[in-house]
């Protein structure tokens, strides 16, 4: 029997005016907040810990555990530093497209989650750091925040509880690296967004050197449902170590691309059944389980359980659950070249392995794709990837190396078919014409 879908966050996306406060209140919106405000903050943290919610921003770190790291009470100097909650709404990983539809369709789910999370970690100021390009989302979010202020859900003495919270929607300037949590904090402080050395971790010295929780949009938006329905309900979905529901984003060569919310551990084969399969007349060739930064999978991996442990055991990462599907008409070298160009462009330049490595990876990938490569270039690609993977300052470097190394593992023959003047076997005319036109940078 196939795993049923589990629409929770996406359950009301198609309702008329789903984004308004009226619509949200009509489906018991902010009911979880009322419940949370009657609980002790530590009890809220314990509930999220017991639920086993894992961060949906990529690494799968347990959310309640992260909240529990925030030091409480005065420091050694007798002063209690302010605490901050920062929601990571930068969503820029290629293929990842879950937080933006969530904020567009039901922004109050996120606002309610923010208030509960801030209450739990005893923060009186929270930020949503939004990717700057998504202006319609910005409008919706700001309207939701304004509505929440106007109805006593934000500001001073929220719902008569004595808890105060200011929520600021901050707009980023469109850099992928600003999704990395410490680069995000630098950017929020008005600096150039570059990752910080850790330790200290943000829980100890984050925004303005104060204890800070940084969480993904989907992580925070999942909290109201957990508070409202309880940990047993949440744990009735998914697996022991990866409990609950999550948003899987299917894109590419699939009949019905979109968001499919399901228990963790569903397989791509099952999701493809819901999504109408690979586009008519074609078959799957390769796919990403968690965005372009995660090692590729092939048709051998259709039955891998899409939870943190299952994907890791099969040699990749669940990441952002961005399932990009490519059929047999796609040149894997060309697809990987596109991603490599993205990483080189977005490399912040702070560390040498990534700054230099991504540049050289692009040069090598272009040579191969354009038929100018030789056999030794494939070894060089692996060698340069190896000097980037695990040796860079932040995970962007790993993300740049992963598609190259995994595609060479599964499709080495296809790389080889490009070499020694052969050009791209999928479209040799295009490759030649581009080279002649000087369009190959």
Ligand X SMILES: Cc1cc2nc3c(=O)[nH]c(=O)nc-3n(C[C@H](O)[C@H](O)[C@H](O)COP(=O)(O)O)c2cc1C
Interface positions with ligand SF4 (CB under 6 A): 177, 195, 347-351, 354-355, 392-394, 396-397
**141 versus 394: smaller Cβ distance to ligand SF4:** 394
Q: In whole angstroms, how close is the CB of 391 to ligand SF4 at the nearest point?
A: 9
Distance, in Å, from the CA atom of 217 to the CA atom of 89, rounded to the nearest integer, reads: 6
Q: In whole angstroms, how close is the CB of 271 to ligand X at the nearest point?
A: 21
Q: For the chain, give me the number of helices (H) and strands (E)?
A: 18, 9
214 binds, among ligand X, ligand SF4, none (CB under 5 to 8 A by kind): ligand X
Q: In whole angstroms, how close is the CB of 31 to ligand X at the nearest point?
A: 23
Q: Show Cβ contacts of residue 381 under 8 Å, excluding neighbours closer than 6 positions.
A: 361, 364, 365, 368, 404, 408
How crowded is the C-beta side of 385, counted as CA atoms within 13 Å?
A: 24
Q: In whole angstroms, how close is the CB of 173 to ligand SF4 at the nearest point?
A: 16
Let me know: does 247 contact 261? Beta carbons within 8 Å. yes
**214 versus 389: smaller Cβ distance to ligand X:** 214
**220 versus 396: smaller Cβ distance to ligand SF4:** 396
**53 versus 351: smaller Cβ distance to ligand SF4:** 351
Rg (CA), the chain: 23
305 binds, among ligand X, ligand SF4, none (CB under 5 to 8 A by kind): none
Pairing label, strands 125-130, 166-171:
parallel
181 binds, among ligand X, ligand SF4, none (CB under 5 to 8 A by kind): ligand X
Q: In whole angstroms, how close is the CB of 188 to ligand X at the nearest point?
A: 13
Distances (CA, A) of 19 to 32, 104, 129, 142, 180: 18, 7, 19, 11, 28
Distance, in Å, from the CA atom of 349 to the CA atom of 9, rounded to the nearest integer, reads: 37
Burial of 116 (0-12, 13-18, 19+ CB in 10 A): buried
112 binds, among ligand X, ligand SF4, none (CB under 5 to 8 A by kind): none
351 binds, among ligand SF4, ligand X, none (CB under 5 to 8 A by kind): ligand SF4
Strand, coil or helix: 85 = strand
Q: In whole angstroms, how close is the CB of 215 to ligand SF4 at the nearest point?
A: 20
**123 versus 336: smaller Cβ distance to ligand SF4:** 336
Q: In whole angstroms, how close is the CB of 51 to ligand SF4 at the nearest point?
A: 32
55 binds, among ligand X, ligand SF4, none (CB under 5 to 8 A by kind): ligand X
Q: Show Cβ contacts of residue 435 under 8 Å, excluding neighbours closer than 6 positions.
A: 370
**324 versus 392: smaller Cβ distance to ligand SF4:** 392
> Please, where are the H alpha helices in 256-394?
268-274, 308-313, 332-346, 352-369, 375-388
392 binds, among ligand X, ligand SF4, none (CB under 5 to 8 A by kind): ligand SF4
349 binds, among ligand X, ligand SF4, none (CB under 5 to 8 A by kind): ligand SF4
Distance, in Å, from the CA atom of 248 to the CA atom of 260, rounded to the nearest integer, reads: 5
When CB distances to ligand SF4 are compared, the closest residue is 354
Q: Outline where DSSP puts E strands in 141-283.
A: 166-171, 212-216, 245-252, 258-263
Q: Show Cβ contacts of residue 25 under 8 Å, excluding neighbours closer than 6 positions.
A: none
Q: In whole angstroms, how close is the CB of 163 to ligand X at the nearest point?
A: 22
397 binds, among ligand SF4, ligand X, none (CB under 5 to 8 A by kind): ligand SF4
The residues binding ligand X (CB under 6 A) are 55-59, 61, 63, 88, 90-93, 176-177, 179-181, 214-216, 219, 394-396
**96 versus 392: smaller Cβ distance to ligand SF4:** 392
Task: Pull the structure tokens for residue 299.
Answer: 């048709």
**119 versus 343: smaller Cβ distance to ligand X:** 343
Sheet of 166-171, strands arranged across: 166-171, 125-130, 84-89, 212-216
**121 versus 400: smaller Cβ distance to ligand SF4:** 400
């Amino acid at each position: 029997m196939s795993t049923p879908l589990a629409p929770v966050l996406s359950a009301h996306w198609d309702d008329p005016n789903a984004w308004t406060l009226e619509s949200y209140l009509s489906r018991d919106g902010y009911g979880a907040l009322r419940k949370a405000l009657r609980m002790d903050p530590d009890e809220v943290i314990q509930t999220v810990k017991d639920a086993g919610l894992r961060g949906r921003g990529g690494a799968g770190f347990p959310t309640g555990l992260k909240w529990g790291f925030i030091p409480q009470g005065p420091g050694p100097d007798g002063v209690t530093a302010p605490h901050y909650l920062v929601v990571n709404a930068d969503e820029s990983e290629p293929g990842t497209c879950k937080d933006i539809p969530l904020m567009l369709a039901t922004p109050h789910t996120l606002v309610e989650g923010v208030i509960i999370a801030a209450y739990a970690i005893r923060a009186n100021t929270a930020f949503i750091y939004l990717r700057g390009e998504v202006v319609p989302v910005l409008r919706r979010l700001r309207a939701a925040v304004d509505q929440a202020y106007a109805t006593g859900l934000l500001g001073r003495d929220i719902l008569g509880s004595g808890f105060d919270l200011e929520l600021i929607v901050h707009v980023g300037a469109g850099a992928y690296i600003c999704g990395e949590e410490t680069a995000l904090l630098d950017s929020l402080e008005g600096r150039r967004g570059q990752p910080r050395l850790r330790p200290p971790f943000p829980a100890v010295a984050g925004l303005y050197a104060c204890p800070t929780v940084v969480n993904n949009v989907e992580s925070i938006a999942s909290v109201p449902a957990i508070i409202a329905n309880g940990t047993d309900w949440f744990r009735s979905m998914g697996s022991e170590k990866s409990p609950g529901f999550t948003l899987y984003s299917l894109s590419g060569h699939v009949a019905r691309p979109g968001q499919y919310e399901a228990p963790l551990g569903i397989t791509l084969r099952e999701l493809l059944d819901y999504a109408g399969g690979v586009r008519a007349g074609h078959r799957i060739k390769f796919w990403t389980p968690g965005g372009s930064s995660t090692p590729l999978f092939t048709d051998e991996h259709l039955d891998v359980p899409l939870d943190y442990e299952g994907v890791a055991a099969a040699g990749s990462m669940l990441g952002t659950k961005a399932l990009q599907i490519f059929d047999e008409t796609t040149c894997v070298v060309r697809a990987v070249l596109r991603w490599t160009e993205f990483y080189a462009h977005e490399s912040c330049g702070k560390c040498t392995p990534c700054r230099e490595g991504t540049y050289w990876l692009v040069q090598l990938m272009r040579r191969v794709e354009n038929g100018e490569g030789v056999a030794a270039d494939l070894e060089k690609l692996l060698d340069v990837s190896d000097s980037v993977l695990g040796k860079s300052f932040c995970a962007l470097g790993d993300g740049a190396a992963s598609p190259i190394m995994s595609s060479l593992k599964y499709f080495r023959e296809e790389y080889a078919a490009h070499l020694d003047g052969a050009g791209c076997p999928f479209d040799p005319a295009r490759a030649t014409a581009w080279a002649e036109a000087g369009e190959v940078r």
